[in-house]
Amino acid sequence: MNEKGMIQRNVEEFSRLQRYMLADGKDAKAYQEMNEQEMKRVAIEKYVNIQRIKKHGQEEIDYQERIAKTELQLLGINTEDLEMDK
């Protein structure tokens, strides 16, 4: 999958998660939409990303940060509020 496709897929996942966070509890429709298979896939992707960071170091961290920042901005989330001081 190319970078654009990966970003689009992740934006869709973030959208589902955002709807869940805005809803009330586990009975929310958004929670029901994210089935066990989707949750497993998201968890596996996180684990794979960590493994890539361990193997490729700072270059991979920079790449992952660019992708995450783009996804968040597409969702209308200001990433400056999420930045940590070094």
In a domain, 82, yes or no: no
In a domain, 71, yes or no: yes
Domain that holds residue 17: 3-76
Rounded to whole angstroms, the Cα distance separating 36 from 15 reads 17
In a domain, 45, yes or no: yes
- For residue 46, the model assigns a pLDDT of 87
Please give the tally of structural domains in the chain. Answer: 1
Q: Cα-Cα-Cα-Cα dihedral of 9, 14, 16, 22, to 10°?
A: -170
- For residue 58, the model assigns a pLDDT of 92
Which are the contacts of 79, defined by CB distance < 8 A and separation ≥ 6?
A: 69, 72, 73
4-54 residue pLDDT tens = 676 677 777 777 776 666 665 666 666 666 677 787 888 888 889 889 999
pLDDT at 67 > cutoff 60: yes
pTM over 0.75, yes/no? no
